[in-house]
Structure 1
Amino acid sequence: MPIHDLGYRNWQEERTARFVRPWVIARTGVSLIWRRRWLRNVLMLAWLPIVVPALGIFAFEYSSTDPELQQFIAQIVRKPLAQPELASQIVNDPEAARHQLWSTLILAFFRYPQLFAMVVLIGLIAPKLISYDLRTKAYLMYFSRPLSPFQYILGKSAVIWFFLAMIVTVPAMLVYLLGVLLSPDLSVVMQTWDIPLRILAASAVLMIPTTALAVAYSSLSSESRYATFAWFATWAMGFVAYQVLTSTTAVVASGGDQGGHRGGRGNWEDLDIDFDRWRLLSPYHTLGKVQSWVFGLDTSSSTVVPAVLVLVTISVLSYWIIRKRIIARLSI
């Protein structure tokens, strides 16, 4: 009679609930990544841009008692932000301009510093999430438990969602809360109650397709460096392609007169050129289109629908690829 039985035995104790199993994977991944000092430094740097929208909201709320500051804010909105109608509204009816100005500042926070921080952050942590498991065969340990491929994918994705929420959603909510506290009275909540919901929706627009794409790249190779290159190449090539194609189209439409349009893209838009047809080539500009619509600053629904379809297609296709790759490994 053998002393040690090394065969498989049924688990007699209580199992973890199905909806908690992805959380266990996510918690383990977050704790391992959080130990890296460079990541904490990146998170701290990612929070620095919160100062800009916070100062903008503070200046706007304070400008109700300072006409000179009000005119200064209107000039900034009119020229750098290219929103003359909003600038006029700030001077004539600040109460009516509050919602749009807050949305514009928070969207700018989403679009510029935090989107670039997102690309860097995901490029540093996502490539190893699945490729490392494939290289070390750690996935065999995961699936020796009662774990489905969907739960595994959800747990790995939640690792990225946590860090993205730390640099995007939480700071944006803090900016909104700061705006409420700086307002003259709490009646401002009734005017801007929907902005937190829009922040959550814009965060979902940012997190779901980007995470799906990054994890899909990680699942395609056991070498994380290939996934890292593919991730950064996707954003860089898409951005460059959009800039080159739109600039070339604008120059051709203006008759080749580049000197008369050195003022930037704002002057090119006066030529009534359809820049949206090239937008879908760039993930950066596609996300910006949908997020602008979420915040209510872009009302052209006909041009938003293709961008939404592209993001949905990327998400569904990426998760299908991940699932197929995992099932293929388990079938060997």
Structure 2
Amino acid sequence: MLVLAWLPVMLPALGIFAFEFSSTEPDMQRMIVSTVSGPLGRPDLGALILADPESARHEVWSTLILAYFRYPQLFAMVGLIGLIAPLLISYDLRTKAYLMYFSRPLSPTQYIVGKSAVIWFFLAVVATVPAWLLYVMGVLLSPDLSVITQTWDIPLRILAASVVLMLPTTTLAVVYSSLTAESRYATFAWFATWAMGFVAYQFLTFTTAAMSGKRPPRGRRGPINWEEYGVDLDRWRLLSPYHTLGKVEAWVFGLDTTAASVVPAIGVLAGITVIGFWIVHRRIVARLSV
């Protein structure tokens, strides 16, 4: 599965390759402009690539790496954690293996961090490391190493986006695992949270436009500015973990284009992390006191 999770990195890699050769290869330029203007919904960035490729480099790289985080890797993360996390604590509860752990000088906090580190490692392998390799590839394909002065912050933004991805998702998965001795219930709760949140957001957000009769004309091509049709993309965002993570990750990369503040989304993710850790810690302490 890890090999499959790495395959999507080829798409942003191809985009960076096309951008770096766009100044000398018209076909490459048309390819990257059509990609950022169409599928990525950034016609303004496409125009900037045509006008001034040098000043567009930072934003192009950031946009492609964010797309990697947002689409293939977020779905890979959901599947990967859904396979690994449910067993981490529920299996210990069912078999009483936690008694073996705590027969040594191990605190509940260390136990939780150790279990979480398993997930962090796999997420780093499928998200952080490939994103860093994308950056290195971009530097190597550039005309000279002076591009590092333009893009030095991107590796740090990748690390920050990885933390945003890892902490709340891992905590939520570990909470579900700690609440039941049956891993299948934890697995169901994990996938249901993502699926129901996504569906609820899509339904509540776009039903408004459908009921008001404001909708894009049929046959329209290119990106759609939904705000022109009375769609508030942020109103119901906090119902969906997927869209909440997307809001914060876009902000981390400096690419958040929606009007609402990012603070509520950060607050929700921080709350999941803190409250989730407290729940798991309390569950472990309660088991040990029996």
Aligned partners of 1:261 and 1:268 also within 8 Å: no
User: Could you list the runs of 5+ residues in structure 1 that have no partner in the other structure?
Assistant: 1-41
- Once the 2 structures are TM-superposed, how far is the Cα of residue 68 of structure 1 from its aligned partner? 4.0
- Measure, in 1, the Cα distance between the counterparts of 2:31 and 2:126: 30
- Measure, in 1, the Cα distance between the counterparts of 2:257 and 2:233: 16
Distance 1:241-1:205 versus aligned 2 partners, 3 A rule: same
Aligned partners of 1:251 and 1:258 also within 8 Å: no
- Measure, in 2, the Cα distance between the counterparts of 1:169 and 1:284: 18
Aligned partners of 1:212 and 1:318 also within 8 Å: yes
| 1:201 equivalenced with 2:157 (yes/no) | no
Match of 2:92 in 1: 133
- Once the 2 structures are TM-superposed, how far is the Cα of residue 198 of structure 1 from its aligned partner? 0.2
Aligned partners of 1:261 and 1:267 also within 8 Å: no
| 1:168 equivalenced with 2:127 (yes/no) | yes
| 1:286 equivalenced with 2:224 (yes/no) | no
Larger radius of gyration between Structure 1 and Structure 2: 1
- Once the 2 structures are TM-superposed, how far is the Cα of residue 264 of structure 1 from its aligned partner? 8.8
Aligned partners of 2:37 and 2:43 also within 8 Å: yes
TM-score scaled by length of structure 1: 0.84
Match of 1:56 in 2: 15
User: Could you list the runs of 5+ residues in structure 2 that have no partner in the other structure?
Assistant: none
Q: Which aligned pairs between 1:1-332 and structure 2 lie closer than 5 A? A: 42-255=1-214, 260=218, 266-298=224-256, 302-332=260-290
Aligned-residue identity in percent: 70
Distance 1:300-1:250 versus aligned 2 partners, 3 A rule: closer
- Once the 2 structures are TM-superposed, how far is the Cα of residue 302 of structure 1 from its aligned partner? 4.8
Distance 1:91-1:216 versus aligned 2 partners, 3 A rule: same
- Once the 2 structures are TM-superposed, how far is the Cα of residue 301 of structure 1 from its aligned partner? 8.0
- Once the 2 structures are TM-superposed, how far is the Cα of residue 118 of structure 1 from its aligned partner? 0.3
Count, aligned residues: 290
- Measure, in 2, the Cα distance between the counterparts of 1:228 and 1:264: 38
1:74-114 Cα offsets, whole Å, 9 max, x none, are 23322222212111110110000000000000000000100
Distance 1:168-1:90 versus aligned 2 partners, 3 A rule: same
- Measure, in 2, the Cα distance between the counterparts of 1:303 and 1:253: 26
- Once the 2 structures are TM-superposed, how far is the Cα of residue 265 of structure 1 from its aligned partner? 7.7
Q: Which range moved further: 259-268 or 192-201?
A: 259-268
Match of 1:36 in 2: none
Distance 1:294-1:322 versus aligned 2 partners, 3 A rule: same
Q: Give the aligned residue type for 1:70.
A: Q
Aligned-residue Cα RMSD (Å) equals 1.8
Q: Give the aligned residue type for 1:227.
A: A
Aligned partners of 1:107 and 1:295 also within 8 Å: yes
TM-score scaled by length of structure 2: 0.95
- Measure, in 1, the Cα distance between the counterparts of 2:204 and 2:43: 27
Q: Give the aligned residue type for 1:273.
A: V
